[in-house]
A and B are shown apart, each in its own frame.
Chain A
Amino acid sequence: METEKSIIRKIIEYIISNHPCGYTEDNLPLEKSLVELGILDSYGVVELVVFLETNWSIVIDDDEITREKMGSIKKMAALVNGKLS
């Protein structure tokens, strides 16, 4: 059973290995927007959505692709967790 914590860990791993940035797995901010941190550009978010959908076999609805639902790693993990449970 996947926990929100393990989802967070997997998202961090994905970000660090796929989006070259100055952060490491230990200091990547969990409650800030990855776009505003400069880690993702607009296409980076597209890649991230594809990653979330394929990795957890879920579908993210169009109106969920917003800053409100996906504006930080924690928010994304909650979104994924909500769909899994």
Chain B
Amino acid sequence: MCGIAGFKFSQGAADRAMLEAMLGVIEHRGPDSFGGCLIGPAALGSARLKIVDAEGGNQPAVSRDRNVSVVFNGEIFNYLELRENLIAKGLHFDTRSEIEVLLNLYLLYGELFVNHLEGQFAIAIYDHRSGTILLYRDRFGIRPLFWARHGDMFLFGSEIKSLITVDGFQVSLSHRALVQTGLFWTTVGDETAFQEVKQLPPGHILKYHDGNVTLSQYWNIFSLCEVDRLNLKGDEDYLRAFRSEFDAAVDRQSMGDVEVGSYLSGGVDSSVVAHRRSVRNGPLRTYSISFSDAEYDESKSQRTMADENNFIHTSVQIGYEDIVRNFYNVQWHAESILFRSAPVPLFLLSERVKQDGLKVVLTGEGADEMLFGYDLFRETKIRRFLARDPQSANRGKLFSRLYSYLPQYKEKRFLGLLIDFYAPTLLSDSHHYPMQVRWNNGRNLSEIFSSEVRNGKCDPIADLEKYLPRAYYSSNDLQKAQAVECATLLPNYLLSSQGDRMSMGNSVEGRYPFLDDKFVKFMASLPERLKLRGLKDKWILRNAFKESVPESICFRPKVAYQAPDMKAFFSSVEGQDLVRTYLSDARIKSLNLFDPMMVRKIIRKGESLSAMPRVSMRDNMSFIMLLSTMMIEDIFVKKNHLSFSGGKKISVEYV
């Protein structure tokens, strides 16, 4: 696991100091060693965290004739298999590392070598013969990769901050990103929080040649429609197959020469992951977040799971002050407009993992997308069911089985209101039927933006549609909701702001058995009724492992992982100071991104929170988006973060 960075000039020789500054600022991603190469006008570099072939896997890998050089961040889970195939085809290897496999694959297959890879990766290749830079990103977007043009230079890196270290490169906040985040909770496509910086979308290849950038998609979620359907006799056979494929995924994802730990959220996904790893590998270290505020705390389930399985368990307790004190640093790592404070505890959790000397943790991320675990999937089913008979007195009652953690769904007396709430979109013929309720809520959030942002020519749904393949429009509701989740929240929040950036901020690599390429194909081969059976979500996962995981965890309804948002900031002097600094009237007016009157109203609401039993999701989201945007403006646009004044000196080994 590593961080990568590099660039290409249009002419002249590449510059060492520039590469070193770009690598120095992402040292957290790979503090074990730095490597670089300068070939003509191009430079490629890596900050390496040694996990696989610690001694042999130094980067970049450069071909013998120095025509092709490669750096990469991530893991290729089938690299040994690929290596054997390449050797059989007569290619030569000096090491047992993944990077050398990538180099040889490219030499043999050319640009589309990526189709052979299974794993989580961001790869950069410079082919000196044609002067081309190629960038690749894994299918789900587990590993990040950003790029920009600066004058006639092309820049890329695992994190945006690498690009910002480049002399004279100035970023500004993207209005489009703000509007997208208001609606989808994240940006979409190649958009980042900054107008001048793009991300390479998951499953895409970028080619920079002759000063032109071209993007092509090598994979999308609908590629899975081509997977042959599994046709077994009955439930028992499917459950058995699921168990065996899942175990294989956990084994593959545990690859490496170092100890592998596991996160334990208290939900079924990470519990099953941790359980299988410990059964297959012996004593396991597990890590959980607990909250001083009982509204968010799940330590009881975590403790039950850890005790029953004799995990070597560590729980990191998070109070309001932890959220407040670490928010700025988390923004430095996340580099995006956040809508929740929930990344903060994950940053503190990986800090604890690092203290124990671990570099790799397994997580349960991806199960909700692949096995239809979100309430969104069930909500859509109920809306369709009610739409067939909108006057039915009983059908609407099913809404009370959703979002068990929200009081308006839990308390019977609000049922009538809920049915009314769903009424306006019930009979809609929109292509995006599953997303309509959420997007309507999001639209209302846009009121916090200034009229300049609101009236700009941004159409987030059109932006999203650019990345939805044609197959989307003929797919069913479940597939549509899954595709949108995989184009928005999964890559651009869960795997980044809560995933890669929070763990790599402390040099810890996350692994995702539910997003393992082979296992994903297996899950795609299963009939839908095994994933969402009636309104029972993740049916096959829960039933496959019901003997291993305590019933109270295995069959409990989904609880969204969240952390205190507004409450944390307004309940302490320190938090209120931050609000006063970043959300001051003068500052808000000078940036002209938000409506000053709305900001004042939100602050006033925050100040009177003690009188409220609970803060609504909309208020929490508006507040965190505001604070987050104002902070990243300070950090990256004004470059007020210390790391931008005087680059960190690192020692790079050149090949």
The prevalent SS among residues of B at the interface is helix
CB distance from B411 to the nearest CB of A (A): 8
Interface of chain B residues 409 through 438 with chain A (CB within 8 A): 409, 411-418, 420-421, 423-424
Q: Are B605 and A20 within 8 A (Cβ)?
A: yes
* Size class of the contact patch on chain A: 20 to 34
Per-residue CB contact flags for chain A residues 36-58 toward chain B (1 = under 8 Å, else 0) read 10110111111101100000000
Q: Are A43 and B447 within 8 A (Cβ)?
A: no
Taking CB atoms, residues of chain B closer than 8 Å to A63 are: 416
Residue A84 is within 8 A (CB to CB) of chain B in the complex: no
Q: Which of B511-519, B521-529, B615-623 contacts A (4 or more CB under 8 A)?
A: B615-623
Q: Which of A18, A36, A41, A65 meets B416, CB within 8 Å?
A: A65
14 residue pairs A–B, Cβ–Cβ below 8 Å: A20-B448, A20-B605, A35-B421, A41-B616, A43-B408, A43-B614, A43-B616, A43-B617, A45-B417, A46-B411, A46-B414, A66-B416, A66-B420, A71-B420
Q: Are B447 and A65 within 8 A (Cβ)?
A: no
Q: How far is the CA of A38 from the CA of B447 in the complex (A)?
A: 9
Residue B444 is within 8 A (CB to CB) of chain A in the complex: yes
Q: Are B407 and A46 within 8 A (Cβ)?
A: yes
Q: Which of A17, A47, A65, A66 meets B616, CB within 8 Å?
A: A47
Which 5 A-B pairs have CB atoms at the shortest separation, nearest pair first? A38-B444, A20-B601, A62-B413, A67-B420, A66-B416
Residue B357 is within 8 A (CB to CB) of chain A in the complex: no
In the complex formed, the residue of B with least CB distance to A48 is: B417
In the complex formed, the residue of A with least CB distance to B413 is: A62
Taking CB atoms, residues of chain A closer than 8 Å to B414 are: 42, 45-46, 49, 65
In the complex formed, the residue of B with least CB distance to A67 is: B420
Q: Are B618 and A41 within 8 A (Cβ)?
A: yes
Residue B406 is within 8 A (CB to CB) of chain A in the complex: yes
Q: How far is the CA of A43 from the CA of B424 in the complex (A)?
A: 17
Q: Are A43 and B406 within 8 A (Cβ)?
A: yes
Known contacts A65-B414, A66-B416, A67-B420; decide if A20 and B408 are in contact (CB<8 Å): no
Taking CB atoms, residues of chain B closer than 8 Å to A39 are: 444
| Best-buried of B414, B423, B604 by chain A (most CB within 10 Å) | B414
Taking CB atoms, residues of chain B closer than 8 Å to A41 are: 441, 444, 616-618
| Best-buried of A17, A41, A45, A71 by chain B (most CB within 10 Å) | A41
| Best-buried of B420, B440, B598 by chain A (most CB within 10 Å) | B420
Taking CB atoms, residues of chain A closer than 8 Å to B604 are: 17
CB distance from A76 to the nearest CB of B (A): 12
Q: Which of B408, B441, B443, B595 meets A46, CB within 8 Å?
A: B408
Q: How far is the CA of A22 from the CA of B424 in the complex (A)?
A: 22
Apart from A20-B601, A62-B415, what are 9 other A-B pairs with CB-CB below 8 Å?
A: A17-B601, A20-B619, A21-B598, A42-B418, A43-B407, A43-B616, A44-B616, A45-B414, A49-B414
Interface of chain B residues 66 through 106 with chain A (CB within 8 A): none
Q: Are A21 and B616 within 8 A (Cβ)?
A: no
Q: Are A62 and B416 within 8 A (Cβ)?
A: yes
